[in-house]
Structure 1
Amino acid sequence: MKNSFENKAIDTFSYLFMAIFSVFCILPFILILSSSISDEKSVQLTGFALFPKQFSLLAYEVIFQDNTIFNAYKTTIIFTVAGTILCLIITSAMAYAISVKTFTHRNKIAFFVYFTMLFSGGLIPSYLLISKYLGLSDNILVYILPALVNPFNMFLLRNFFKQIPDSLAESAKIDGANDIYILFKIILPLAKPALATIGLFYGLGFWNEWFTATLYINDKDLYSLQYLIMKVLREVDFMYEMDYMQGVIPNYVAPSNTVRMATAVVTVGPIIFVYPFLQKYFIKGLVVGAVKG
């Protein structure tokens, strides 16, 4: 009876603690959303609040003032999805190659990839290679091709592949399977947690990409979402600073703070909806029972 009471007390305390912790995690998102639909003047006078004191959609009107934002969304979604898939394929193939003990050149390939983590050619050689020799300026592939393999992700996936029993691949080879079949039919299905984690890393990296557009993109239809948002913020800040320097009192206050909050809502929203679908793969123990004892 005592143990039962103690277990219930611990469960109650745990649920209560997690509920309070969840509220504190949700409050910043509510604050951002509320501030994004508030009037700029009220935000400057009273600060940010959980509920808008004066409702205004001016910040979203500034962001969605033309079709450029929709083109940026389309472009970003395309290279994020395509880039994540290609990166997972290339990274998985290289990780599997250097995880196979019978592959002669696996250490040389691993060193070649590891070398790029320590040394880089720099910005200018990279710019010349991508823009002049590869001709990827104003091309959506410029977002994808230079980022096909991340060394850290490859070694992370390699270490996960090493945990999969060798007897699985050996049994498949006895039955006549080649390495491509083993990778896609045996190894990758067992590596779903690792693939989901690395895929999330790649996806977030592509979704937050803005520096590439700064260097190589002049076509407005190929702007990434993050670059366009940064461009809008700069324009709003410039407008605010010009009015301040000239001593001009405009009819409305430039929505500097509220636009920042609105951009956070616009850019983070899709990731919040995608994450729950990937969360179920963040589990362990998929290899348990795969090999008969």
Structure 2
Amino acid sequence: MATNRGDRLFNFVNSFLLIFILLIVLYPMYFVLIASISNPEAVLNGKVFLIPKQLTLQGYDLVFKNKDILTGYGNTILYTVVGTALNLVMTVLAAYPLSRRDFKGRNAIMAMFIFTLFFSGGLIPTYLLIKQLSMLNTFAVMIVLGAVAVWNIIIMRTFFQQNVPVEVHEAASIDGCSNLGILIRVVIPLSAPILAVMVLFYSVDHWNAYFNALIFLSRRSQFPLQLILREILIQSQMQKMMENSQESFAKLLMSSESIKYAVIIIANLPIFLLYPFLQKYFVKGILIGAIKG
């Protein structure tokens, strides 16, 4: 199709703006990366802009000397894997019945779910409940407390309604499938995109979670990575790592700068590696809730 001068000008301006916005978004991440491997003195003096200065891995060395980092990494991976698996099971079991038109009372149940989006018991009642259930300082409190998200139930229910025709349910039922059989043999195989969306949503939530650990955990051996990083960045945990050294305050400040950027890279690297493979499903998941059947 031939384009006129106005179309070419529009495409040029549009491309320029999009590239400019892309650079604005990407540069902070790029800066953190090059700052983490640059001399901290150069970073503090503002000499690091486009390329690393005086390459060093001092920040990473200091971080990995802290055993709590490795323990937190392991805990976070465990919480993320087990928690995401439980999330998927619970979300599917909640969304599938609510997507069936022959399920009586589904609107009332959905209304109760939605009610929890606007009102909750609050932090203190939740803490007292967890304490009475003897779940403080346990693995379960990091998994069970966030076992399902209502918004994700809505997204998955919408997907089931729009992408799994009623005729498929009826055909499977005529062939002798039970409701559970229909779910396992028919619905789930047809729902790979939404399952990928849920894996991304829930895994990111678990990986970044720190508040529940901050409130309900007091044993350092159970702390997730984010809580360890919070101590390093906010509570000057770095000073404990170097308490036996005779370094000057300036040296301590530069080491703190190296650690700050290194822990940001370490904490976000797994998500950066996962996201490109699931990006198309992420976009689809965002759009599902806006599509009307």
Q: TM-score range by the shorter chain?
A: 0.7 to 0.9
CA separation of 1:19 and 1:82: change in aligned 2, threshold 3 A: same
Q: 1:219 — aligned with what?
A: 219
Q: Contact 1:72–1:224 at 8 Å: present in 2 too?
A: yes
Q: Contact 1:35–1:50 at 8 Å: present in 2 too?
A: no
CA deviations 1:43-68 (Å, max 9, x no partner) are 12125423222333332233222322
CA deviations 1:17-59 (Å, max 9, x no partner) are 6777766654433211110122222212125423222333332
**Percent of pairs identical after alignment?**
34
Whole-Å Cα distance in 2 between the matches of residues 238 and 69 of structure 1? 12
Whole-Å Cα distance in 2 between the matches of residues 277 and 266 of structure 1? 19
- By how many angstroms is 1:175 displaced? 0.6
Q: Contact 1:193–1:283 at 8 Å: present in 2 too?
A: no
The answer as to 2:192 corresponding to 1:184 is no
Whole-Å Cα distance in 1 between the matches of residues 132 and 271 of structure 2? 35
Whole-Å Cα distance in 1 between the matches of residues 194 and 40 of structure 2? 44
CA separation of 1:141 and 1:48: change in aligned 2, threshold 3 A: farther
Whole-Å Cα distance in 1 between the matches of residues 34 and 197 of structure 2? 31
In the alignment of these two chains, the number of paired residues is: 272
- By how many angstroms is 1:180 displaced? 1.2
CA deviations 1:211-266 (Å, max 9, x no partner) are 11111112222110111101111243885xxxxxxxx9536142333322212100
Q: 1:195 — aligned with what?
A: 195
TM-score (norm 1): 0.82
SS of alignment partner, residue 103 of structure 2: coil
Q: 1:165 — aligned with what?
A: 165
- By how many angstroms is 1:146 displaced? 0.8
**Structure 1 counterpart of 2:123, one-letter code:** L
Q: 1:142 — aligned with what?
A: 141
Whole-Å Cα distance in 1 between the matches of residues 236 and 88 of structure 2? 38
**Structure 2 counterpart of 1:154, one-letter code:** I
In structure 1, runs of 5+ residues without a counterpart are 240-247, 285-293
Q: 1:287 — aligned with what?
A: none
SS of alignment partner, residue 45 of structure 2: helix
Q: Contact 2:31–2:50 at 8 Å: present in 1 too?
A: yes
Q: 1:103 — aligned with what?
A: 103
Q: 2:243 — aligned with what?
A: none
Q: 1:264 — aligned with what?
A: 264
Q: Contact 2:40–2:257 at 8 Å: present in 1 too?
A: yes
Whole-Å Cα distance in 2 between the matches of residues 125 and 235 of structure 1? 28
SS of alignment partner, residue 101 of structure 1: coil
| Bigger RCO of structures 1 and 2 (CA < 8 A, at least 6 apart) | 2
Whole-Å Cα distance in 2 between the matches of residues 21 and 189 of structure 1? 38
Which moved further from structure 2: 272-281 or 146-155? 272-281
Q: 2:207 — aligned with what?
A: 207
**Structure 2 counterpart of 1:195, one-letter code:** L
**Structure 2 counterpart of 1:139, one-letter code:** T
Which structure 2 residues correspond to residues 105-124 of structure 1 after superposition, within 5 A? 105-124=105-124
**Structure 2 counterpart of 1:81, one-letter code:** V
Q: Contact 1:193–1:282 at 8 Å: present in 2 too?
A: no
In structure 2, runs of 5+ residues without a counterpart are 240-246, 285-293
